[in-house]
Amino acid sequence: MRPWLIAGLAWQDYRNDARLSACSVLALVAVIAPLLVLFGLKFGLVGSLTERLQRDPAVREIVPLGGGRFRADFIHELAQRPDVAFAIARTRQIAATAELLLPARGRAVTAEMLPTAAGDPLLQQVAPPQGLQQVVLSFTAAEKLGAAAGDELQASFSRQQAGHLQWRQTRLQVAAVLPLAAFERDGLFASLALLEAVEDYRDGRGVPALGWPGNAAGSDARRVYPAFRLYAKELADVEPLRAYFAERKWLVSTQAAQIAQVQALSRNLDLVFWIITSLAVAGAVAAVAAGAVAAVQRKQRELAVLRLLGFGTAALLLFVVLQALYSGVLAAAVAGGLYLLAEQGLNRIFTQVPGEYASHLLPMHYFVALSAVLLASTAAAALGGWRVTRIDASQGIRDV
């Protein structure tokens, strides 16, 4: 068998029957193009929703509810878990507030204090503060103070002792200001050591590092924390972490329900897509097989001449299959072009957030689609071209 000769003959015959070839291509385009658009919408919408959730650290946050008693070593173990992106102890919320003043502008604000360290998802590209005197401000707090990176703030902390209100102050340097999307409240991100110092002072203990007098400081090894800040590494890790805390009877708040909704949407769209795809592919295979049967019937004399010239059954079957493959390649190219036009239109109409897509396909998806079209065309043509086995060489000389 001479494959290249068969391929050339099949192509020349395919071109001679240009109208019928065009009809077979358009029939496949009518199946492939809508499937590409449907899958592009599914992949684009679900992908954008998933990426939006993944980019938002609040969705991956595990918030303990109620007063707990967590030791530093336990929280350190949590931070080492493979499904945890970041974990740090948190002091009592009632003690984690600061009165901030920017002396240069005379503006003041009461800010929530949050412990932070390297790897904090809320800090994103911002370097964490170093030491007791360096902090990162939220956008709203910096806006109210009129502060910027490099400014010095005066932080005041109060406590009630023996019926008297006492105050202590310290200087804090603004290392950076977070974008508004990272944290939308008045917040001050500082090292855990500063929050522990403020809590100790408000509990009546002294803070030698800041020169604040008080009772003898307790041992850090015996310190317990009422809460922690914890973020799961991936969206899929939120539910296992929730279950982990539930097993230990610790009540936590998560966004597991919201994540589950997106995952359910993805599964439902997968089901719809595969149902529609199965029906469409079955119809396309039937159409290609019927076309192959009709082609063999219509070109029976030409195929008989080829057998008379010495081409075997495999060569004749390859002739039929190659013509189906030509239609499949052309149909995939036309459908891909139509999809790209539809994708641009859909994204222009429905996309409002930069970087997100209403419809989107990866290069791998085009390759998979082309492979599926060629495989289906080959199988259908082989199924429909079985009649070439019945063609006898004598049929080629009856009309000569």
pLDDT tens-digit map of 112-153: 999 999 889 998 788 889 888 899 999 999 999 988 888 899
Is 225 in the same domain as 373?
A: no
| pLDDT given for residue 352 in this prediction | 66
Q: Which of 203, 222, 250 is the last residue of a domain?
A: 250
Is 59 inside a domain boundary? no
279 and 378 both lie in a single domain: yes
Low-confidence ranges of the chain (pLDDT < 50): 400
Verify that 213 and 80 share a domain, yes or no: yes
In a shared domain, residues 367 and 274? yes
The whole-number pLDDT of residue 248 equals 86
Residues 231 and 160 in one domain: yes
Residue 347 lies in a domain: yes
Residues 126 and 233 grouped into a single domain: yes
Residues 171 and 290 in one domain: no
The whole-number pLDDT of residue 229 equals 92
Task: Give the pLDDT confidence score for residue 105 in this predicted structure.
Answer: 80
Together in a domain, 205 and 163: yes
Give me the pLDDT at residue 17, please: 76
Last residue of a domain, one of 250, 271, 293: 250
Give yes or no: residues 172 and 315 share one domain: no
According to the 3-state scheme, what is the secondary structure of the chain? CCHHHHHHHHHHHHHHCHHHHHHHHHHHHHHHHHHHHHHHHHHHHHHHHHHHHHHCHHHHEEEECCCCCEEHHHHHHHHHCCCEEEEEEECCHHHCEEEEEECCCCEEEEEEEEECCCCCCCCCCCCCCCCCCEEEECHHHHHHHCCCCCCEEEEEEEEEECCEEEEEEEEEEEEEECCCCCCCCCEEEECHHHHHHHHHHHCCECECCCCECCECCCCHHHCEECEEEEEECCHHHHHHHHHHHHHCCCCEECCHHHHHHHHHHHHHHHHHHHHHHHHHHHHHHHHHHHHHHHHHHHCHHHHHHHHHCCCCHHHHHHHHHHHHHHHHHHHHHHHHHHHHHHHHHHHHHHCCCCCCCCCCCCHHHHHHHHHHHHHHHHHHHHHHHHHHHHCCHHHHCCCC
Range of the domain at 164: 66-250
Q: Are residues 116 and 181 in the same domain?
A: yes
Q: What is the pLDDT of residues 4-53, one digit of tens each?
A: 777 777 788 777 777 888 888 888 888 888 888 888 888 888 888 777 77
Claim to verify: residue 187 and residue 80 sit in the same structural domain: yes
pLDDT, residue 394, reads 58
Q: Considering its fold, how many domains does the chain have in total? A: 2
Examine residue 184 and state whether it is found in any structural domain, yes or no: yes
pLDDT value of residue 220: 58
